[in-house]
Amino acid sequence: MKIVNKGVRKKDALALVTGKPVYTDDIAPNCLTVKLLRSPHAHAIIEEINTDKAKKVPGIECVLTYEDVPKTRFTTAGQTYPEFSPYDRAILDKHIRCVGDPVAIVAGWDEKSVDKAIGLLKVKYNVLEPILDFRKAKDNKIIVHPEEDFKALVDVGTDKDRNICASEVFEFGNVEEELKKCSQIIDETYHTKANHQTAMETFRTYTYMDTYGRLNILSSTQVPFHVRRILANALDIPKSKLRVIKPRIGGGFGSKQSSVSEMFPAVVTWITGKPAKIVFSRKESLTNGSPRHESEIRIRLGADDEGIIKAIHMDTLWNAGAYGDHGPTTVGLAGHKAMTIYNSAAAYKFNYDVLYTNTMGGGAYRGYGATQGFFALESAINELAARLNMDPTELRMKNMLTQSQVGNKLPTYYNEELKSCTLDKCLLRAKEMIGWDEKYPCRDMGNDKVRSVGVAVCMQGSGISNVDVGAVEIRLNDDGFYTLMIGATDMGTGCDTILSQIAAECLECELDNIAVNGVDTDTSPYDTGSYASSTTYITGMAVVKACETLKNKILDEGARLLGLNSDDVEFNGKEVFSLKENKSISLKDIGNNSLVGFNNYLTASASNYSPTSPPPFMAGIVEVELDKLTGKVDIIDYAAVVDCGTPINPNLARVQTEGGIVQGIGMTLFEDILYDENGRMMNDSFMQYKIPSRIDAGNIRVEFESSYEPTGPFGAKSIGEVVINTPAPAIANAIYNATELNFRELPITAEKIALKMLERNNI
């Protein structure tokens, strides 16, 4: 392979490092500034909004309340239709369901006037008691969604009158019977908190009417085609009236798989006909973003005295928050991804309730529920190892998926067949990298410092099987360069480059010979968008298919121009030639001829889906230093070994891994959305909601133990999400190995560690 599996620069790299104006707010011209009045109450009914004074502020173009906007309900979750997330939201609603819910939309020609107008709005609320604890939400007398026009498109077990957003029971074998036979049972409950993706570019959207009377939306989104549908639903207008454009975007990590900001300027532009823009403040992005769902998972893990796992039960509670975005789907990954890695048990049960509350609605965050599931199950596995006095890596080698299981069916993973896996090699290599045998479980460093190691393994998927679609089109242009049209959404991850690498490999040309662009729903082929670890695997395969077709067309056209049969010519990327006839024609000439008269313009398109979602795997081993007096944990070293199949661009795969691990470290040690007793997020700035700095990140070392996935482009699987799943259980394990204390709630802050150590020492 010449270009695939090479760490080439991203095609947009030099524009980004020189600060070129390529993001939404850089492109938006002078237009209306849109801001929101947000509710200070977690649960309330708006009785009256007086907009008179606000409307009189000079420069104000419009003030919109729930009476002025379409009343249709929709979901802001970016998912394939029919969405699993209920239609439970309106652009503006009389019923306030969480602090920060929008009450009014104000648009004006300068920010100061808009701020002034917002200050002049008078709202009378009937303040209701909120339900903030998801453990108490089911069958509570407080109902988050009493509205009649609530709609669940898919039966996911929704019962809104009981605050149930989704509910399901999955069982394979008989868990209760198997547990009875087990000599070792771990029965513990694990709690993870909501946390934020905090893409550096906050949510933002610019909207305008075009020459044809259509609403154009330029937005920082991972899901342009879903945004088109979401806005058509929200505004109650035909999709044909909408065009969505994605420029460069400043990070996503799942946050922009929900349509968070688009509807506000869109409704302003649709009503006023004038261009408008909203830029969420960091505070708004934190108080009303689309964070990871809070979870509580009770694990019952049964094994024999040798550590052979016989049964796994995951009894799961999920906090949807005020709206059901991604609630019914994220929860599924907690069980179906986590349990699958221990494929040899006799029985599995996974039951869940996803519950509405009056906290911020959740969304998609890298890992998409699997992260919560792996913290719970991998922690329980580590507790089982401790119970058996067994090295936790040994326990895993006895039970987890390995190369030898390739070809086996995965009963907890929709009965898919495992076609590629090197998880055993990943774990063994990570042990070598960290020096596990010398360092496990811990070493006293003196000075009240102890250094310990901890381990976890995990998997994810590659796209959503039978659902995700990636379509591409590739064109041959004059002088023989290609245009690759994609609907997949590069959010900094580099998919524009990765897909171009695949095209260049197929067409045997230089990377510079492939032109690629952002997404425009009018001109890009359909793509579900960049989420579910789908882009390289799903859209990458579409590129392979389209290039094959184009190559055949080039052969045919070359042969015709040479006056030969297609069977008698070959293509080497530069020319179509016949050795036998000693004739050739360059790609440049074919391209130029194709634009003249009688000849054929050469394009090819392909659409791809996958009946399977092959899992990438990863082993993560961390070494921490724990201060026994203060409880402070420093990350010393993180050894990560990944099986993502063939890494199409190893540099970008490595950076994905490093970035995901550091997000996982933040989630494990300090990131925590904290609410006061009235449901207001207390730590609503970067001053209080801390994400890891380069001091917190420690040293991270990444290697690949590549398998070859037969269904992926050049053997590739996904990389984007699997990388966030090991830090929480691995760090919790290292903390246990340093303190012999189990921490089953995230984040594991220094305070929690110090207090628990004090508590134990006093007994």
* Pairing relationship of beta strands 164-172 and 95-96 according to DSSP bridges: unpaired
CA atoms of 72 and 89, how far apart (whole Å):
8
Quick one: which segment of 192-200, 234-242, 382-390, 450-458 binds other proteins (CB under 8 A)? Answer: 192-200
CB of 660 to other proteins, least distance (A): 7
The contact mask relative to other proteins for 436-475 (x = CB under 8 A, - = no) is: ----------------------------------------
- Contact by Cβ (8 Å): 244, 219: yes
Among 78, 100, 224, 250, binds other proteins (CB under 8 A): 250
Closest approach, Cβ 250 to other proteins, in A, equals 3
Count CB-CB contacts under 10 A for residue 5. 18
Residue 583 tokens, joined = 């004739």
Residue 674 touching other proteins (CB under 8 A): no
Q: Does 100 participate in binding other proteins (rule CB under 8 A)?
A: no
Q: Shortest distance, CB of residue 110 to other proteins, whole angstroms?
A: 11
Q: Considering the complex, what minimum distance in angstroms separates the CB of residue 8 from other proteins?
A: 9
Helix (H/G/I), strand (E/B), else coil: 269: helix
156 sits near other proteins (criterion: CB under 8 A) = no
Q: Please name the residues in contact with 271: beta carbons below 8 A apart, sequence gap of 6 or more.
A: 62, 64, 68
Reading the block at residue 65, the tokens are: 């309340």
Q: Which is nearer to other proteins, 332 or 664 (CB)?
A: 664
- Find the length of the chain: 763
Q: Report helix, strand or coil for 707.
A: coil
Beta bridge partners of 483: 475, 515
Asked if 260 interacts with other proteins (CB under 8 A), we say no
Regarding 633 and contact with other proteins (CB under 8 A), the answer is no
In this complex, which beta carbon is closest to other proteins, that of residue 218 or of residue 267?
A: 218
For residues 469 to 498, the per-residue mask of contacts with other proteins, x marking binding by CB under 8 A and - elsewhere, is: ----------------------xxxx----
| Among 78, 302, 660, 715, interactor with other proteins by CB under 8 A | 660
Instruction: Region of 48 please: left (phi>0), alpha (psi -120 to 50) or beta.
Output: beta
- Complete DSSP assignment for 213-228: S-EEEEE--S-HHHHH
Q: How far is the CB of 321 from other proteins (least distance, A)?
A: 22
Q: Which of 34, 42, 186, 655 binds other proteins (CB under 8 A)?
A: 655
Q: Are 324 and 144 within 8 A, CB to CB? A: no
Q: What are phi and psi of 49, to 5 degrees?
A: -125, 120
Site for other proteins contains 4 (CB under 8 A): no
Of residues 542 and 661, the one with the C-beta less far from other proteins: 661
Query: Binding of other proteins at residue 695 (CB under 8 A)?
Result: yes
Q: Is 700 in the site for other proteins (CB under 8 A)?
A: yes
CB of 202 to other proteins, least distance (A): 8
Q: Which two tokens stand for residue 264?
A: 């506000």
How near is the Cβ of 289 to other proteins at its closest, in Å?
13
The Cα–Cα gap between 472 and 540 comes to: 9
Determine the Cα–Cα distance for residues 435 and 450; give it in Å rounded to an integer.
16
Number of helical (H) and strand (E) elements in the chain, helices listed first = 19, 30
Minimum gap (Å) between residue 304 Cβ and other proteins: 39
| Of the candidates 285, 210, 206, the residue with the CA atom closest to the CA atom of residue 247 | 206
Taking CB under 8 A as the rule, does residue 636 contact other proteins?
no
* 201 sits near other proteins (criterion: CB under 8 A): yes
DSSP β-ladder status, 276-279 and 32-38? parallel
Among 281, 344, 572, 630, binds other proteins (CB under 8 A): 281
Can you tell me which of 154, 467, 697, 750 binds other proteins, judged by CB under 8 A? 697
H runs (alpha helix) in 361-462: 370-388, 392-399, 423-434, 436-439
Query: Is the separation of the CB atoms in 363 and 254 below 8 Å?
Result: yes
- Between the CA of residue 454 and those of 367, 623, 739, what are the distances in Å? 20, 7, 12
Residue 649 touching other proteins (CB under 8 A): yes
Rounded Cα distance between 249 and 202, Å, is 10
Could you say whether residue 298 binds other proteins (CB under 8 A)?
Answer: no
- Residue 197 in the binding site for other proteins (CB under 8 A): yes
Q: Which amino acid is at 282?
A: R
The whole-angstrom separation of Cα 44 and Cα 99 is 10
Span near other proteins by CB under 8 A; candidates 12-20, 75-83, 309-317, 459-467: 12-20
Judged by CB under 8 A, the stretch of 13-21, 127-135, 543-551, 668-676 that binds other proteins is 13-21
Question: What is the residue type of 624?
Answer: V
DSSP state of 144: S
Is residue 658 involved in binding other proteins (CB under 8 A)? yes
The CA-atom distances, in angstroms, between 381 and each of 374, 375, 743 are 10, 10, 14
* Contact status: 204 vs other proteins (CB under 8 A): no
Q: Closer to other proteins at the Cβ: 21 or 58?
A: 21
| AA identity, residue 561 | L
Query: Does 29 contact other proteins by CB under 8 A?
Result: no
Q: What is the CA radius of gyration of the chain?
A: 27
Least Cβ distance, residue 218 to other proteins (angstroms) = 15
The residues near 621 (Cβ < 8 Å, ≥ 6 apart) are: 430, 431, 433, 434, 436, 453, 454, 455, 638, 639, 730
**Residue 691 binds other proteins (CB under 8 A):** yes
Q: Which stretch binds other proteins (CB under 8 A): 143-151, 198-206, 450-458, 710-718?
A: 198-206
Minimum distance from residue 131 beta carbon to other proteins (Å): 31
**Binds other proteins (CB under 8 A): choice among 229, 300, 349, 654:** 654
DSSP secondary structure, 457-470, as one string: EEE--SS-TTT--E
The one segment of 146-154, 308-316, 651-659, 731-739 that binds other proteins by CB under 8 A = 651-659
Cβ distance to other proteins smaller for residue 695 or 763: 695
End-to-end CA distance of the chain: 63
Least spacing, CB of residue 248 vs other proteins, in Å:
7
Where residue 563 falls (left for φ over 0; alpha for ψ -120 to 50; beta otherwise) is: left
Residue 651 in contact with other proteins, rule: CB under 8 A: yes
Distances in Å between the Cα of 744 and the Cα atoms of 348, 733, 735 are 22, 10, 11
Nearest approach in angstroms of CB 468 to other proteins is 22
Part in contact with other proteins (CB under 8 A); list of ranges 37-45, 244-252, 312-320, 525-533: 244-252
Q: For 396-517, list the strands marked E by DSSP.
A: 409-410, 416-417, 442-446, 449-459, 470-476, 482-486, 514-516
The single-letter DSSP state of residue 306 is: T
The answer to whether 13 contacts other proteins (rule: CB under 8 A) is: yes
Shortest Cβ 506–other proteins spacing (Å): 22
What is the bridge-based pairing of β-strands 276-279 and 204-209?
A: antiparallel
Under the binding rule (CB under 8 A), the answer on residue 119 touching other proteins is no
* Sign of the CA dihedral with 400 first, then 403, 408, and 410 last: positive
Question: Applying CB under 8 A, which part among 20-28, 325-333, 338-346, 540-548 lies near other proteins?
Answer: 20-28
12 binds other proteins (CB under 8 A): yes
Among 376, 542, 648, 652, binds other proteins (CB under 8 A): 652
The count of chain residues that interact with other proteins, using the rule CB under 8 A, is 56
Select from 233-241, 448-456, 647-655, 708-716 the region that touches other proteins (CB under 8 A): 647-655
Q: Is 251 in the site for other proteins (CB under 8 A)?
A: yes
- Residue 330: strand, helix, or coil: helix
Does 248 sit near other proteins (CB under 8 A)?
Answer: yes
Enumerate binding residues for other proteins (CB under 8 A): 7, 9-10, 12-23, 26, 197-202, 248-251, 253, 281-283, 491-494, 649, 651-652, 654-655, 657-663, 685-687, 691, 693-695, 697, 699-700
